[in-house]
Amino acid sequence: MEYYSYIKSLHLIFVITWFAGLFYIPRLFVYQIESAEKPEPDRSILGEQLKLMTRRLWYIITWPSAVLASLFAFWLLYLMPGWLSQDWMLVKLGFVVLLYAYHYKCHLLFKELQQDVIKWTSNQMRLWNEGSTLILFAVIFLVIVRDAINWIYGVIGIFLLSGILMLGFKMYKRIRTKNPDA
């Protein structure tokens, strides 16, 4: 138990860097999608540079952070096995599974875009970008509050946050339509 604080700190550091990668990778996807619509030589130059940036972000920061965050989380659960009997931890682990599903989908999108396969619009990708934000809010509130009895209120709060994000997205889309450089 003397190493608990160090392990928890390392877990949090890698959770933060994992989320940083998950926040930024869809933004790079947006840029890749938009660069494909540009005329040559911009399309090729931007496309190759963005592929390089996404590859480095994905394999040097995001994937290693996900693995290390998980390893330190398992270590914490090993040290604190009683957590697995607490409702808040079970709900949190459900959100972690959802986070891995989001991560995996981002990986599939990454592989498609590396092959110049574009199936999403830039607006769809902007919306997708909010997925990790919602999961982050859910996990942070769950861990800090640790009140799984009221997790239903938390889920309602997440849906309200989703609605607010959707409204913000629509407002941004209108502004961007009026002013393409925004």
Binding residues for heme: 11, 92
CA distance 14 to 20: 10
Cβ atoms within 10 Å of 22's Cβ, excluding its own: 23
Burial status of residue 44 (CB atoms within 10 A of its CB: 0-12, 13-18, 19 or more): exposed
Query: Can you tell me the distance from the alpha carbon of 131 to that of 135, in angstroms, rounded to the nearest whole number?
Result: 6
94 closest CA partner among 108, 81, 104, 84? 84
Known binding-site positions: 11, 92
Question: Is the backbone peptide bond immediately before 81 cis, with ω within 30 degrees of 0?
Answer: no
- Angle, helices 42-56 vs 87-114, to 10°: value is 150
